[in-house]
Amino acid sequence: MGPLESGDPDRVGRYRLVARLGAGGMGQVYLGRSQAGRTVAVKRIHPHLAGDASFRERFAREVTAARQVSGAFTAPVIDADPEGAVPWLVTAYVPSAPLDTAIDGTGPLPGASLRFLAAGLAEALMEIHRVGLIHRDLKPGNVLLAEDGPRVIDFGIARAADTQTATQSVIGTPGFMSPEQIQGDHLTAASDMFAFGAILAYAASGTGPFGTGSVPTLMMRIINDRPDLSAVPHDLVPLVSACMAKDPAARPGPQQVLDVLGDAEPGASWLPPAFVSAIHASVGEVQKLLGHAPQPGPDAATAMFNEAPPTAAQGYGSTRVFPEPGQAGATAGHPATRRQTGGLSPEELRREELRREELRLEQLRREDELRRAELRREEDRRRELARREDERREAMRRQEQQREEQRRAHERREEQLRRDEMRREQQRARAQASRPHGLAAWMVFLVLPILQWPVGWFSQWTLSSMFDQDAPPEISLDNLSFDLFGELLPLLGLGYFVLNNLVGLYYLARSIYSQYLFGIVGSSLVLVVTNIVLYNVGFFE
């Protein structure tokens, strides 16, 4: 809030301007008075937007809808001229203090005041949505705290500025924009409910639910992070959390919010004394400005009533500070106009206004470039984090794959060991099955001369047949007398030699093949003992 500056018009339509209330992306807001002395807020659209035909069409449509909004918790639109050379809009002045200014000066709202604020904002949004409007820029600066309740201002007008010729960026206030609004998706009334929840979190803590930081940082937090509701009273946390859901379909509507809050309890004041004092201070400042407002002099009044009646395109005479082309000569020499414009001609004022607009647009472009650069950095950081996450997952996948391969190799080794063990068991079983049993039973025949003499005789006969030697004596019942030591013993020794060695070698070979230790030892003893005995009796001489 401050006094008028050089270049500001003294009047807009039939409203005399008193002071500056603030400025936004669409235009300058002034404190004004009607001809009947009623205090109003006048929003004068920026000249660079006035030349955009599509903006004018949207502005006229939104103003028509905004005029239909009524209710105790909105500042109603009482006048507008969307067809003027510079469009303007007038709303009722509410003796109040902006929510952000009050919070900065006195701190967060207590729980009871927060519930009253929530109910008042819900009623205001319900009335705004009833006529088909979406606020699109609901923020603490657009919420006024009055002694009889909160007010919502600037509703339904942000959409008119939603054009590429305006700011080349998304319309809204970072920190209080919905995720779909940031991403440029189609907006519904649920977008206002997200901002509604963010305002309640702000009023409860004194800071936004997504903290502070650059515009791209806040936007990324809104899209990806959960809001900080630690300062919100516990009984309101479910409601605020539902309003700030990422999915628009999951957010409640204003009527649902009112149903949850219930009826407000009557009281002396819904605001703490510190907030009431802040409202009184703001109203006192306005009254001070109104008390020092310049009154129109005789010359200005004479000039006003002596001019030709205004046309629809020109608006009121006091708004023709910036005349249409070709009208500069008609007003340049008028003394009242000179006094109103600080001694500058209308053409000079137009150039000065255009120069300021160019500087402002250049600043907006630089800010937009900074925002885009920050967004790119945020995107690069997100990509770097995503790349690192992919690398981490790939490393984990490779480790898991290596562990799986090691597990499979271990299983293969275990399987091979089992197969080898089974093979050895089978070999042992086959060896056990192939072991030469019965060597002990042969010991009787190997020791007693039972089979040796027939084997010896047969061997002697076979050798004599092969080498034409003397045949062994024939055995018959008629000839049982022969030389025992001369003929029988050599045949008996030959039988021992042949039989015992053949049996011993057979058992030794099978025992070695089957790894039968007892058989190897037994057959070796048979061979050794047999040949030692034969040697001692002179068989080999």
Q: Which residues are annotated as a binding site for ATP?
A: 43
Beta strand 88-92 pairing with 77-81: antiparallel
Q: Residue with structure tokens 């209308």?
A: 346
AA identity, residue 261: L
Catalytic residue from among 8, 10, 52, 137: 137
Q: Which helix (H) or strand (E) holds 517?
A: helix 517-536
Q: Where are the alpha helices (H) located in 154-248, listed in sequence order?
A: 179-182, 190-205, 215-224, 237-243
Q: Where are the alpha helices (H) located in 47-171, listed in sequence order?
A: 47-50, 53-66, 99-106, 111-130
For residues 154 and 138, give the distance between their C-alpha atoms in angstroms, rounded to a whole number: 8
Q: What is the DSSP string of 391-445?
A: HHHHHHHHHHHHHHHHHHHHHHHHHHHHHHHHHHHHHHHHHHHHS---HHHHHHH
Contact by Cβ (8 Å): 86, 45: yes
Q: What b/e sequence results for 243-279 when a residue is b if at least 16 CB atoms lie within 10 Å of its CB, and e otherwise?
A: bbbeebeebbbbeebbebbeeeeeeeebbeeebbebb
Q: Could you tell me the two tokens for 333?
A: 């020499």
For residues 41 and 30, give the distance between their C-alpha atoms in angstroms, rounded to a whole number: 6
Q: Residue with structure tokens 């705004």?
A: 128
Known catalytic residue at 137:
yes
Please enumerate in sequence order all residues whose Cβ is within 8 A of that of 205, keeping only pairs 6 or more positions apart, or say none.
108, 228, 230, 231, 232
Contact by Cβ (8 Å): 60, 83: yes
AA identity, residue 293: A
Q: Could you tell me the two tokens for 230?
A: 């630690």
Annotated binding-site residues read 43
Number of Cβ within 10 Å of residue 94's Cβ equals 20
Contact by Cβ (8 Å): 199, 176: yes
Q: Which helix (H) or strand (E) holds 494?
A: helix 489-513
Q: Tell me which residue of 475, 507, 504 sits closest to 491, measured CA to CA.
A: 475
DSSP-derived 3-state class of residue 27: strand
Q: Tell me which residue of 117, 257, 241, 248 sits closest to 188, measured CA to CA.
A: 248
Supply φ then ψ for residue 379, to 5 degrees.
Answer: -65, -40
DSSP-derived 3-state class of residue 480: coil
For residues 25 and 167, give the distance between their C-alpha atoms in angstroms, rounded to a whole number: 8
Q: Which residues are catalytic?
A: 137
